[in-house]
Amino acid sequence: MTDMTERNRTQDPDGEREPVQTRKPPTKRGGGDPASRGRTTIADGVVEKIAGLAARDVLGVHAMGSGLSRTFGAVRDRVPGGTKSVSRGVKAEVGEVQTALDLEIVVDYGVSIADVARAVRENVIAAVERMTGLEVVEVNIAVSDVKLPDEEDEEPEPRLQ
């Protein structure tokens, strides 16, 4: 029995064997760049959720949103089947390749607001750009309140049933 490579070779006049290509190399369909094969759109709400979770991860951020939105959120959270809104306090404007974000945060008393804002901005930019591929052109942060140590939370801890 002959070897497959032997069957796929021919002999040139000098006695040297050269490989013969028996199959065409695979060709790419629809052009070379996969990005040219369709379009991906990312909803504002997706970017808002990513940014909201990233902002909450920063030490010194007590809550997101204004007092009014947190009050409505606390009521919504008490409704059976209601879920905590991770995008509360976040507004995103998403384009094809860029996004801009506005965040409203409540910080814990005693922390440096400038340091917390810088850390929130860095964390949000890193998370949104990594997960979406969008360029974050700006992250505006409004500090709407300071949580004092002796203040009760407007948002009670969820009760287990």
**What pLDDT was estimated at residue 108?**
97
Rounded Cα–Cα distance for residues 160 and 18 (Å): 75
Query: How much is the pLDDT for 151?
Result: 80
Q: Is 66 contained in some domain?
A: yes
pLDDT digits (tens, 9 = 90+) for 96-110: 999 999 999 999 999
Instruction: Name the 3-class secondary structure at 34.
Output: helix
**Token couple for 41:** 């759109």
Rounded to an integer, the average pLDDT of 140-148 is 96
For residues 113-126, give the mean pLDDT.
98
Q: Is residue 7 part of a domain?
A: no
**What per-residue confidence (pLDDT) applies to 70?**
46
Residue 131's domain is classified under what CATH number?
A: 3.30.70.1350
What does the alpha-carbon distance between residue 52 and residue 45 come to, in Å, rounded to a whole number? 10
Give the per-residue pLDDT at 157. 43
**Residue 91 pairs with which residues in a beta bridge?**
102
pLDDT of residue 78: 58
Distance from C-alpha of 44 to C-alpha of 98, rounded to nearest angstrom: 11
Residue 15 lies in a domain: no
In a domain, residue 47? The reply is yes
Residue 14 has pLDDT above 80, yes or no: no
**What percent of the chain is modeled with pLDDT above 70?**
61
The pLDDT tens digits for 66-88 are 765 445 555 555 555 555 589 99
CA 14-18-19 angle, to 5 degrees, is 165
In a domain? residue 20: no
Residue 156 pLDDT greater than 70, yes or no: no
Separation CA 64–CA 103 (nearest Å):
8
Q: Tell me whether residue 34 is in a domain.
A: no
In a domain, 9, yes or no: no
> Quick check: is 89 in a domain?
yes
Q: Bridge partners of 145?
A: 106
| Chain Cα centroid distance, residue 29 | 30
Over residues 121-132, the pLDDT tens digits come to 999 999 999 999
**Structural domain span for residue 142:** 42-147
Element (H, E) at 92: strand 90-94
The number of domains in the chain is 1
Q: Report the pLDDT averaged over residues 29-46.
A: 80
